[in-house]
């Protein structure tokens, strides 16, 4: 199976919680309308393949005579055109959860989903971490010659590790296995003397090379584990890479031999100082058969090592996930980079770098890896290989702290915490044969012994009700009975008379076949296709485009044309669906409908009084002023003495909300208009009053005290005001003129132009001084020798004229 891997942090185990299913498509309904309606659609299957928003009407009399493509549309449009809901074949997404299977970590365990192409379903899975788990730890050790010292360190690991793990686990079991490489050339020396003892050149007794040897099944007896380790001997091979991945797969799939416990957390620890062979490396030895992913242990020895290639990383990943195994790599620092790139392809893996394979370092590595792996949850969603290209998967985690884990991982999850996963599965297309199919999708939290099975039922064909009649291109329009059996075939037009073939295609009183908009086949009209829309009816007398247009669009693009009338969408009405049902567009600023002076018709205000105008009937240029319109009412109340007992006598001329006040200053504000009622006969009948219509109803407050002002006094005040204003304007003109005259007496340089005519007290008959002016000319003389001219004006009497 091909896997989409999503990493999510969660507390150890979570509870799968199935939630709401959401069917959707990549296009909106407005776009879906154009997708569903296409002349190329001739069958129910073609229609539903356009997208999950499309539906097919298989009602027999629906749009009789119209093209088959008219049967494909949005369900809401088909409903408006007269197709009953029970005659619609449409995409239906279902999610059913089997809640009868109990679980403590992953729930639900079984989900069934029905999909069509273009649709998707979402559900929520939760995983809960328990407090303490039993742990199975399997040591898979490279026993090549370079690992001699490291193998000796394992002799003291069992008991010490058991004591350390009591802090984190309720029960620790250990197992052991060894590997070297495939026992074939060129990986080992095949000389007869080297096969049984690869170390014969060094006079050391070694074990023969082997792909995988299972030595000790899971046990809680630490003394037995230590005894087995002490009996282990090294082996040898020729090349540098080892067969570690080949041995890992056997340790994972041979569950019965290894003794993995179903309820335990499973840890597979690989110890090596070299990289590992990958798939296709075995071709050097002439081994070309791919690995089948099965267990091939005989007498605890891997017998398929010389017959099958090394497993691929994807194959190994699937088997580790399938058997709920965490993998831990304990490697020397020289190989750390090689395995660092490897673990990204193996979910639920941990890499530890050891300078030396010493017992304390190994114990710390196992404890740290266990705590790290339990605080991080990896979810794998796998689709069967046969259908992987037709489906897509999306996973979004919700961590215990409320975050959505940007990197698809929730870290630091504690026991009894729950992590939720929102998983969406969608279908791209159907199989090539167009038939329905069943697909299994596995949702596996990595390292957990519980998983969820999602069973997808892909519906690619139409059922079209109990009768199975879809009324599409697969059904012939002509039916004849031959030999007592119904058979569908085209009629022989050469054998039929014109009157026989066309008499059923003419309307009563008409000589035109199919109303001139179709052809008669088998005594039934087949209407032509128009670029304007669909033509249908028994005699092609109907269409879906002979309805009012609004803004150049049929029914304003807010409805469909049925039998010459627009059937509008919700929220619209009118002959061309141009009128909104809502009156929100008629609400004036004061909250009243059309300012309380009209009705809302087709989304616009229609004023009750022709004198009113404006979008909300708020203007009235021809109306009296607000104050004058209430004079009759005020006069009526004055004539009845401004008493509440007599106020009812004026209801026919006044608003019902009328009150009396001694002091009118208390009602000041923007909503109140201040007015004065002035009687023609007496000053004593002048009163102040205020009006307001804030609450939607006219209100009137009349002062109980007359406000009398003498007409003669008003004339005097007016006269005095005009005089004062005239004097003030004259003073302003004189002051401005004076300033302008003074300004002209000064030169631009700031000196007084006629300063030479000022007289002193000593001699008022003559000019007090002589004006002297020096002019310098620089013509033919250099700048250092200018020519100067001096002009003097002598004193002269003031009375003498200037000469």
Spatial CA neighbour of 114 closest among 123, 105, 124:
123
Confidence of residue 632 (pLDDT cuts 50, 70, 90): confident
Order across the sheet with 120-128: list the strands. 106-107, 120-128, 418-427, 391-398
Q: Helix crossing, 157-165 with 359-374: angle to 10°?
A: 30
**741: Cβ–Cβ under 8 A, 6 or more apart, which residues?**
none
Residue 579 pLDDT > 60:
yes
Q: Who has greater pLDDT, 763 or 610? A: 610
- CA separation for the pair 392, 122 (Å, rounded): 12
Which uninterrupted H or E stretch holds 392?
Answer: strand 391-398
Per-residue model confidence (pLDDT) at position 593: 84
Supply the mean pLDDT for the chain: 78
For the ranges 128-132, 196-200, 625-629, the maximum mean pLDDT occurs at 128-132
111 contacts 361 by C-beta, under 8 angstroms: no
d(CA 800, CA 793): 14
Q: How confident is the model at residue 480, as a pLDDT?
A: 36
Predicted local distance difference test score (pLDDT) of residue 215: 95
What is the rounded distance in angstroms from the CA atom of residue 71 to the CA atom of residue 74? 10
Residue 645 has pLDDT above 70, yes or no: no
**Three-class SS string for 614-654?**
CCCCCECCCCCCCCHHHHHHHHHHHHCCCCCCCHHHHCCCC
Count of CB atoms situated within 10 Å of the CB of 447: 24
Q: SS3 letters for 661-684?
A: ECCHHHHCCCCCEEEEECCCCCHH
Phi first, then psi, for residue 554 (nearest 5°) are -65, 125
Cβ pair 305, 243 in contact under 8 A? yes
| Contact between 190 and 182 (Cβ < 8 Å) | no
Taking the C-alpha atoms of residue 257 and residue 216, their distance in angstroms, rounded to an integer, is 9
Cα–Cα distance for residue pair 323/321, rounded to 1 Å = 5
User: What's residue 289's pLDDT?
Assistant: 95
The percent of residues above 90 in pLDDT, for the chain, comes to: 21
Give the range with max mean pLDDT: 13-27, 290-304, 418-432, 441-455: 290-304
Question: Can you give the pLDDT at residue 439?
Answer: 94
- Helix and strand numbers (H, E) in the chain are 15, 41
Give yes or no for residue 2 having a pLDDT over 50. no
User: pLDDT at position 21, please?
Assistant: 39
* Residues whose CB is less than 8 angstroms from the CB of residue 354 and which lie 6 or more positions away in sequence, other chains included: 330, 331, 332, 333, 361, 362, 365
Q: Between residues 157 and 572, which one has the greater pLDDT?
A: 572
Q: Within its chain, how far is the Cα of 214 from the centroid?
A: 52
Summarize the confidence of residues 464-480 as an average pLDDT. Answer: 66
Q: Rounded mean pLDDT of 317-331?
A: 92
Q: Does the pLDDT value for residue 652 go beyond 70?
A: no
pLDDT at 39: 78
Indicate if the pLDDT at residue 485 is higher than 80. no
Judge whether 166 and 132 are in contact, CB under 8 Å. no
Compute the distance between CA of residue 64 and CA of residue 698 in angstroms, rounded to an integer. 61
3-state DSSP of 436-450: CEEEEEEEEECCCCC
Q: What is the DSSP letter of 309?
A: P
pLDDT of residue 452: 92
Lowest mean pLDDT among 146-150, 329-333, 436-440, 747-751: 747-751
pLDDT band at 24 (very low <50, low <70, confident <90, very high): very low
Identify which has the larger pLDDT, 754 or 253. 253
Give residue 664's pLDDT. Answer: 66
Give me the pLDDT at residue 407, please.
66
Report pLDDT digits (tens) over 523-574: 778 887 777 777 877 778 888 788 888 888 888 888 888 877 888 888 888 8
Orientation angle between helical segments 222-230 and 157-165, nearest 10 degrees: 150
Whether the Cβ atoms of residue 375 and residue 359 lie closer than 8 Å to each other: no
Q: Mean of the pLDDT values across residues 159-164? A: 82
More confident: 641 or 111? 111
Q: Which of 442-446, 668-672, 725-729 has the lowest average pLDDT? A: 668-672
Residue 792 predicted with pLDDT over 60 = no
Residue 579 CA to residue 603 CA, distance in Å, equals: 6
Q: Binning pLDDT at 50, 70 and 90, where does residue 752 land?
A: very low
At what angle are helices 244-253 and 313-322 packed, to 10 degrees? 30
Looking at residues 405-425, what average pLDDT do you find? 83
What is the model's pLDDT at position 681? 54
Residue 198 confidence (pLDDT) above 70: yes
Whether the pLDDT of residue 75 is over 70: the answer is yes
Expressed in angstroms, the distance from the first to the final Cα of the chain is 127
Torsion angles phi and psi, residue 140, rounded to 5: -115, 105
pLDDT grade for 22, boundaries at 50, 70 and 90: very low
The Cα 487–Cα 547 span in angstroms is 41
- 3-class state of residue 371 by DSSP: helix
Phi first, then psi: what are they for 389, rounded to 5°? -80, -10
Average pLDDT over residues 138-155: 84
Instruction: Give the per-residue pLDDT at 708.
Output: 63
Position 174 scores a pLDDT of 93
| Residue 470 neighbours by CB distance under 10 Å | 23
Give yes or no for residue 133 having a pLDDT over 90.
Answer: no
Q: What is the rounded (10 degree) CA torsion for 583, 586, 592, 594?
A: -130
Determine contact, residues 172/137, Cβ cutoff 8 Å: yes
**Structure confidence at residue 762 as a pLDDT band (50, 70, 90):** very low
Confidence of residue 791 (pLDDT cuts 50, 70, 90): low
| Predicted confidence (pLDDT) per residue in 679-696, tens digit | 665 555 677 777 775 555
Confidence bin at 26 (pLDDT 50/70/90)? very low
Give per-residue pLDDT as tens, 254-263: 999 999 998 8
Least confident among 217-226, 392-401, 483-492: 483-492
Using one digit for the tens of pLDDT, what is the confidence trace for 709-732?
545 566 777 888 899 999 999 999
What pLDDT band is residue 19 in, cutting at 50, 70 and 90?
Answer: very low
Residues 6 or more apart whose CB falls under 8 angstroms from that of 276 comprise 241, 242, 243, 244, 245
* CA 380 – CA 451 distance, rounded (Å): 10
Does the structure show a pLDDT above 50 at 492? no
This model's pTM is above 0.75:
no
What does the pLDDT read at residue 204? Answer: 78
Q: Which residues of 94-113 are buried (b: 16+ CB within 10 A; e: fewer)?
A: ebebeeeeebebbbbbbbeb
Report whether 332 contacts 273 (CB < 8 A): yes
Q: Give the span between the Cα atoms of 328 and 332, in whole angstroms.
A: 13
**Gyration radius of the chain over CA positions:** 51
Mean pLDDT for 276-281 is 93
pLDDT at 466 over 60: yes
| pLDDT tens per residue across span 45-59 | 888 888 788 899 988
pLDDT at residue 779 is higher than 50: yes
Q: Torsions phi, psi of 506, nearest 5?
A: -115, 135
Average pLDDT, integer, range 408-412: 79
Residue 676 has pLDDT above 90, yes or no: no
CB 357 within 8 A of CB 42: no
Alpha-carbon gap, residue 627 to 701, rounded angstroms: 12
pLDDT given at position 630 = 75
pLDDT score recorded for residue 524: 78
The DSSP result for 243-255, as a single string, is: -HHHHHHHHHH-H
- CA 40 – CA 16 distance, rounded (Å): 44
CA angle at 761 for the pair 758 and 767, rounded to the nearest 5°: 40
Residue 133 in contact with residue 13, Cβ under 8 Å? no
pLDDT at residue 611 in the model: 78
Q: Which one has a higher pLDDT value, 525 or 479?
A: 525
Neighbours of 596 (CB within 10 A): 16
Strand, helix or coil for residue 164: helix
- Average the pLDDT over each of 237-246, 283-292, 422-431, 484-493 and give the range with the smallest value: 484-493
> Where is average pLDDT lowest: 498-512, 537-551, 605-619?
498-512
**Which of the four pLDDT bands, split at 50, 70 and 90, describes residue 13?**
very low
Among the listed ranges 132-136, 439-443, 469-473, 778-782, which one has the minimum average pLDDT value? 778-782
For the chain, what's the residue count?
Answer: 803
- Confidence check: pLDDT of 788 > 70: no
Higher pLDDT, 186 or 475: 186
């Amino acid at each position: 199976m091909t896997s989409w891997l999503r990493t999510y942090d969660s507390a150890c185990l979570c509870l799968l919680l199935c939630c709401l299913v959401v069917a959707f498509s990549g296009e909106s309904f407005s776009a879906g309308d154009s997708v569903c309606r296409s002349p190329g659609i001739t069958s129910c299957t073609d229609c539903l393949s356009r997208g999950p928003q499309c539906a097919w009407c298989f009602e027999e009399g629906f749009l009789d005579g119209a093209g088959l493509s008219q049967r494909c549309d949005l369900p809401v449009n088909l409903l408006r055109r007269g197709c009953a809901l029970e005659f619609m074949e449409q995409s239906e997404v279902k999610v059913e959860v089997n809640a009868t299977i109990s679980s403590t970590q992953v729930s639900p365990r079984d989900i069934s989903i029905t999909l069509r192409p273009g649709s998707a379903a979402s559900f929520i899975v939760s995983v809960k971490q328990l407090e303490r788990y039993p742990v199975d730890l399997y040591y898979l050790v490279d026993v090549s010659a370079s690992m001699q010292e490291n193998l000796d360190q394992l002799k003291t690991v069992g008991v010490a590790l058991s004591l350390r793990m009591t802090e984190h686990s309720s029960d620790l079991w250990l197992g052991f296995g060894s590997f070297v490489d495939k026992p074939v050339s060129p990986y080992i020396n095949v000389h007869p003397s080297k096969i049984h003892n690869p170390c014969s050149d060094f006079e050391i007794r070694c074990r023969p090379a082997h792909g995988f040897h299972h030595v000790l099944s899971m046990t809680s007896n630490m003394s037995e584990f230590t005894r087995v380790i002490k009996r282990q001997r090294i082996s040898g091979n020729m090349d540098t890479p080892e067969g570690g991945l080949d041995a890992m797969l056997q340790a994972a799939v041979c569950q019965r031999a290894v003794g993995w416990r179903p309820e335990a957390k499973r840890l597979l620890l690989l110890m090596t100082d070299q990289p590992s062979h990958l798939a296709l490396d075995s071709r050097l030895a002439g081994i070309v058969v791919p690995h089948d992913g099965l267990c091939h242990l005989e007498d605890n020895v891997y017998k398929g090592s010389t017959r099958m290639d090394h497993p691929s990383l994807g194959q190994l990943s699937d088997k580790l996930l399938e058997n709920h195994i965490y993998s831990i790599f304990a490697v020397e620092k020289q190989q750390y980079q090689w395995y660092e790139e490897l673990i990204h392809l193996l979910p639920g893996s941990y890499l530890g770098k050891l300078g030396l394979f010493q017992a304390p370092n190994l114990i710390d590595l196992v404890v740290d890896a266990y705590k790290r792996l339990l605080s991080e949850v990896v979810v794998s969603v796998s689709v069967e290989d046969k259908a992987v290209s037709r489906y897509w998967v999306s996973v979004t985690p919700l961590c215990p702290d409320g975050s959505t884990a940007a990197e698809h991982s929730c870290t630091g999850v504690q026991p009894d915490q729950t992590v939720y996963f929102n998983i969406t599965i969608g279908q791209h297309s159907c199989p090539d044969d167009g038939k329905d199919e069943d697909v299994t999708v596995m949702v596996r939290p990595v390292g957990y012994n519980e998983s969820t099975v999602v069973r997808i039922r892909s519906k690619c064909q139409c059922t079209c009700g109990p009768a199975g009649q879809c009324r599409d291109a697969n059904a012939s329009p002509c039916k004849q009975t031959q030999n007592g059996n119904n058979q569908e075939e085209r009629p022989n037009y050469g054998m039929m008379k014109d009157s026989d073939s066309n008499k059923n295609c003419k309307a009563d009183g008409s000589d035109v076949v199919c109303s001139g908009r179709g052809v008669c086949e088998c005594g039934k009209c087949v209407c032509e296709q128009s670029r304007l829309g669909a033509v249908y009816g028994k005699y092609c007398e109907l269409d879906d485009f002979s309805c009012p247009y609004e803004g150049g669009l049929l029914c304003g693009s807010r409805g469909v044309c049925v039998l010459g009338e627009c059937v509008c969408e919700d929220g619209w009405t009118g002959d061309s669906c141009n009128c909104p049902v809502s009156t929100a567009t008629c609400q004036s600023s004061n909250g009243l409908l059309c300012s309380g002076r009209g009705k809302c018709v087709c989304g616009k205000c229609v004023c009750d009084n022709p004198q009113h105008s404006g979008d909300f009937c708020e203007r009235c240029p021809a109306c009296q002023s607000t104050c004058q319109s209430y004079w009759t009412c005020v006069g009526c109340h004055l004539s009845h003495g401004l008493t509440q007992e007599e106020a009812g006598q004026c209801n026919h001329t006044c608003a019902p909300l009328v009150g009396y006040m001694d002091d009118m200053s208390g009602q000041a504000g923007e909503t109140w208009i201040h007015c004065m009622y002035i009687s023609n006969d007496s000053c004593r009948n002048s009163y102040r009053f205020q009006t307001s219509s804030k609450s939607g109803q006219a209100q009137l407050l009349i002062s109980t005290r007359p406000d009398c002002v003498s007409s003669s006094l008003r004339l005097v005040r007016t006269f005095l005001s005009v005089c004062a204003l005239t004097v003030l304007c004259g003073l302003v003109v004189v002051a401005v003129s004076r300033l302008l005259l003074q300004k002209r007496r000064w030169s631009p340089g700031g000196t007084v132009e006629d300063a030479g005519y000022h007289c002193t007290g000593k001699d008022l008959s003559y000019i007090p001084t002589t004006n002297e002016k020096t002019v310098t000319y620089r013509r033919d003389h250099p700048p250092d020798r200018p020519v100067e001219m001096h002009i003097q004006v002598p004193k002269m009497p003031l009375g003498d004229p200037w000469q």
